[in-house]
Structures are given as structure tokens and as C-alpha cells.
Chain A
Amino acid sequence: MTPSSTLETLRTDKRIVIAATVIIGIALAVLPFIIGSGLGNSWLRILNFALLYIMLALGLNIVVGFAGLLDLGYIAFYAVGAYLYALLASPHFGLHLPVWVIIPAGAALAGIFGALLGAPTLRLRGDYLAIVTLGFGEIVRIFLNNLNAPVNITNGPQGISGIDPIHLGGFTLAKPISLLGFTLPSLHAYYYLFLALALFIVFVTIRLENSRIGRAWVAIREDEIAAKSCGINTRNIKLLAFTMGASFGGVAGGLFAGFQGFVSPESFNLMESVMVLCMVVLGGMGNIPGVILGGILLTILPEIFRHGSGPVQLAIFGKILLDPEALRMLLFGLALIVVMLYRPAGLWPSTTRRREFRGDSTNDELKAGE
């Protein structure tokens, strides 16, 4: 290929990239209006939750997908961000700090919690790490549940309600925003805010992935001893993974509290950690688009089952035979099993991972036998 034709392909490539970016951008911009008018506000709320889960999944992906550290208590960091927001912006303590203070503070505090969890567990590997992180998540939840006596900090199992909605520059996102004769409904405003932060987190993750730090994470996942011998301070780099991952969770948690207006320990149980982990693994561990896909699917799928399981039964049997809630989770569990059986590397594995699956099977067996 001559240099000029190479340049030509590059230029068209770039044009394709720009075109794709513009199309995706427009699609993301009009999405809430399509969903809002087509499916109604409940689906718009679900869309917003999908964005929160994408942030969580991307945070956990740093720990599990990049650094290879299995974390089953990740939701604790979401809880830290959410409760910090709830305590600093609600009638509970009478504090009403602005959002631009609370969200960064939530990210920082969650990051500190991440380091606190990481520090003692650095020597642990695989399943031991999984169970300790699981225990950590439960401890946080149990404390949230019980820190209402003797001093009432978290208001116990009742949770904290009446949380301030997110305010931005004099506007509250809880009410429709009128600007220049154009009215933006509350759910739409939240959507754009969440979208902006989710995109920011995607950006940060991509930059990290292709950096000295990102390579060090993957090196640790692949072979910790070799990583050490290459001069990587595995302790610090792992702590960094825990801290970064946790801070994403803290951001998402703060947004959740402001959006929902109410937090209680029930929102942060082990099942939620498991859910986020499923998003990461089912989507395609370590691969950013895969993880985003996992976040969207696992938020929407249970909702489709929820909305579908009642009416479909009515249509077929003429009455509701089976508890729709149980049926929905049953289908969800089956979907998890089926997807993993047919795509064990996830729905959208990174190209490297996919190559691994086409690759020599002998190495896989060796890996499995270790």
C-alpha cells in the first residue's frame, strides 16, 4: 500500500468514526423523548437506573475485569455514596449541602473505603478474596441497618427519606426545567445528568485501560509474580484498583440518593453486588463496551419480565397462575445460566479474549488444572 492510500483510508476511517459518534450522540440525546412518549415514565426511570448501573459495572470492571480481583461486596461503595448524600442533604441532620460538594466527597469517601477494604485483603487470592469482600459488604449493610441507636446516624431499617433532589445552578432536577421557552421534564433532566457522568466514567476508564496503570492492572491479573518481577508494586497498584473502582461506585450512589429521594439498607444487599458482578461477567469482563451492554441488559431484562409475566399469563391462561415476581426472577436466573453456557466469555468479550477462545485448547486445560 502506498503512503497516500494509507493516508486515504485513515481519513475515511476518521470520517466513519466522526459519523458514528454523531449518530450515537443524536440517538442518546433523543432517547429519553422516544422512550418517554413511547413507553412511559416508568421506562424512563428504568433507563436512568441503567445509567447508574453502567457506572457501577464500569467501576467493578476495574477491580474484577482489569485487575482480576473478585469483589463480591462492591455495592457497599454505592451505599457509602448514597448515605453520604442522604446525610448531607436531607432533613435527617438538617444539612443541605450542594451537590457539587457531596458527589466528589462521596467519590472520595468511597475511595477511602475501597482502600480500607483493599489494604488487609491484598495477600488473599481468588475465592478467599471473594468471601472477605462479601463479608465486608454485609458488615457495611448491617451497620447501616443498626446505627440508629444509641446515636441515630442512619435511621436504621427505615432508611432516610426526604432527601434533597439534585440541584444544578439554581435549577432543581425534581421539577420540570423551563429554559428559553423549552420545558425539560424532571426525568429527562436526570437522564442527561446521568448520561454525562456515565460518559465521563467511560472516558476515564478507556484512558486508564490504555495507560501504564491499566497495563499494570492487567499484568497483575495475568501473573502476579511476573508482574512483581517486572517492578510493579503490586500492593499499591491493587489498592489503586480498589480505590478507583470504589470511587465510581460512590459517585453512582450519590446520584442514586438524589434521584430516588430515599435510601434504606435494603437497597444495598448482597444480591445487588451479585447483580453488578453479573453485569461485568455476562457483558464481557475487561471489555468496556461489553460491560456497558451487560449493565443495560441486566437492568432492563428483569423489568421486561416484570411487565411481561403478568399480562402474558392473562393472555394465555386467562388468569394469573404464577406469582409474577417469582416468575420474573425465575426467568432472569434461567437467562443468566443460558447466556453463560453458550457464551462463557460473556456476550461481548474483548478481541483479545475472543482470540483466546479460538486459541489453543491445551493452554486452557493447563489453566483449568492449575
Chain B
Amino acid sequence: MSSTLLEARAIDKHFGGVTALRDVSLTIRQGEIYGLIGPNGAGKTSFFNVLTGLYHPDGGELIFAGEKLQASAPHKVARLGIARTFQNIRLFGNMTAMENVMVGRHVRTHAGVFGAVLHDRRTTREEAAIRRRAEELLNYVNIADRADDLARHLSYGDQRRLEIARALATDPKLLALDEPAAGMNGTETASLRELIEGIRKDGITVLLIEHDVKLVMGLCDRVAVLDYGEKICEDVPSLVQKDPKVIEAYLGGSIA
């Protein structure tokens, strides 16, 4: 059995009087595609934000690759190897696609002011490597032809892909995707699915929040279901689909 990559222990998060996450514990194994689903407002994105250091949890802790994640330090989380995308795409709109991915290399490179000004051998070599890697990644997500276009002028699907490329540029161990298929048509979703499977094949663990249940069930090795901020189920997709609590959460949600 593969080893544990991420362990969330009893995460709590409140906003004022509202509980976003209550006692959420889950374990993500090395190399799997792990799905996080639940009705709207169940706390999926809140969990993402706690995981990536944007929110400070009110209780619990996160252990990633054997290290305790420090809360409220997104850049340290990225350095440790967790990269993410956002539900409502957050690209650097006035930078080119290429530059967006190059920014992703920031955390794995070192050039400072002096290097930038003096252009010493190490810096020029590093800069060339950044560019090469960014080109590779744009190719990898199939948008190399848009490299010099501003990110904001890319089509919706390409923006999603660019965001994934930027996240991959940080050399993550865990890639957290927040509703990557939202707003995509069938063809786009199918190719996204291929992309995610490819990423896993390259040895990167994937955490996926998704509304598209078909995609999650077909793609994920294991799935956790959140409802009202609590984890109500965690299992392989086929069993999760049959779990009465999950059915109730979804049906109950749709009736109310």
C-alpha cells in the first residue's frame, strides 16, 4: 500500500458564528486522485483555503509529507509542495501565458536583485531554465500556441489549463484543483480528464473538488463527502455512491 502524503486531523474553521468545517479528518495517499465532493456551501473550498494556508484553522492540524503545515503562510505551503488552482480562475491577467507559468517557477528558483542586475552566469542559466520549463508545461497542457497572449484574453478552457500549468510549475507533490471542470462542455471535460490522469501518471498526487459527479466517480481512487462542514463519508467511489448518508445529503439538499 502506498504511503500517506497528507493527513488532516480534526480541522475546525468558523466564520463568526458560522461553522465552515467541523472536525474534518482525512488522509490522502501518495499517488492517488482524491475527490472532495459535497453540496454547495458544504465547506470544500474552505478546506482548500485552510490546506493552502489562506485561512487560519480554528482547530486541528495538517501533516504534509511528514511535516506540520504552518497556518497562514501560503508561500511556505507552496514551497513544501502543495499547488492549487482556484474555483473562479485567478490568473495574472495582464501577463502573458508564458509569464504566468514563469511566475510559478519563482518558488524553485533563487535569483535576487543583484543577479537580475548583473546577469551573472548562474542567473542567466537559471532564467533560461525557467523559460524552458515554462515552455514544456505550456506544451504539456496544450496551449503552447497561446504563449505570448495575455492570460485574460485566453478562452475559458485555456485559462483553466494555464492555471494548471502554473501550478505544476511549482513542482508540487500535491496538486489541488478547485472545480476544474466548472463551465466546461463535454469535450473539454474529457480532455481535462486525460490531463489529470497524465499528471497522476507523472507521480503527482491530485486532490480534486468537483461538482461533476460523473467526472469524480470515474476519475478518483477515493472520495470524501462533506456536508455542512462535516465529513460524512470517505471511501472508494462505488461505495460512496451507495452510502445512505451521501444520498440523503444530496437529495435533502436538492429538496430544500
Interface residues in chain A, defined as those with a beta carbon under 8 Å from any beta carbon in chain B:
203-204, 207-208, 210-216, 218-219, 222-223, 225-234, 240, 244, 352-353, 355-356, 359-360, 363
Q: Cβ of B220: which chain A residues have Cβ within 8 Å of it? A: none
Closest B residue to A355 by CB, please name it: B150
Assembled-state Cα–Cα distance A111/B152 (Å): 35
CB distance B150 to A222 under 8 Å?
Answer: no
The 9 closest A-B pairs by CB, nearest first: A231-B107, A231-B78, A211-B116, A222-B92, A228-B74, A226-B90, A219-B103, A212-B111, A233-B75
CB of A69 to closest CB in B, whole Å: 16
CA distance A214 to B84 in the complex (A): 22
Interface residue range, chain B: 35 or more
B92 touching A223, Cβ below 8 Å: yes
Within the complex, what minimum Cβ distance (angstroms) separates B236 from chain A?
A: 30
Q: What are 29 inter-chain pairs, A to B, with CB distance below 8 A?
A: A203-B117, A207-B119, A208-B116, A211-B123, A212-B106, A212-B109, A213-B112, A213-B116, A215-B106, A218-B95, A219-B95, A219-B106, A222-B91, A223-B91, A223-B93, A225-B74, A228-B74, A228-B75, A229-B54, A229-B74, A230-B78, A230-B104, A230-B169, A231-B79, A231-B104, A232-B106, A355-B150, A356-B152, A359-B152
Q: Residues of B contacting A211 with CB < 8 Å?
A: 111, 115-116, 123, 127
Whether the Cβ atoms of A230 and B95 lie closer than 8 Å is: no
Beyond A213-B116, A232-B75, A233-B75, whether A363 also contacts B109 by CB under 8 A is no
Question: Given A229-B83, A233-B75, A208–B113 Cβ distance below 8 Å?
Answer: yes
B119 to chain A, nearest CB (A): 7
Smallest Cβ distance from A245 to chain B, in angstroms?
12
Question: With the chains together, A207 CA to B111 CA distance in Å?
Answer: 12
Report whether A240 and B92 are in contact in the complex, using a CB–CB cutoff of 8 Å: no
Instruction: List residues of chain B with CB within 8 A of the CB of A216.
Output: 103, 106
Alpha-carbon distance A58/B123, docked complex (angstroms): 24
Q: Which residues of B contact A228 (CB under 8 A)?
A: 53-54, 74-75, 78
Known interface pairs A228-B75, A229-B78; A222-B54 also in contact (CB < 8 Å): no
**In-complex Cβ contact of B99 among A207, A208, A215 (8 A):** A215
Inter-chain pairs besides A226-B91, A230-B78, 20 sampled, C-beta below 8 Å: A208-B113, A210-B116, A211-B116, A212-B109, A213-B116, A214-B116, A215-B99, A219-B95, A219-B103, A223-B90, A227-B92, A228-B75, A230-B83, A231-B104, A231-B107, A232-B106, A234-B75, A240-B113, A356-B94, A360-B153
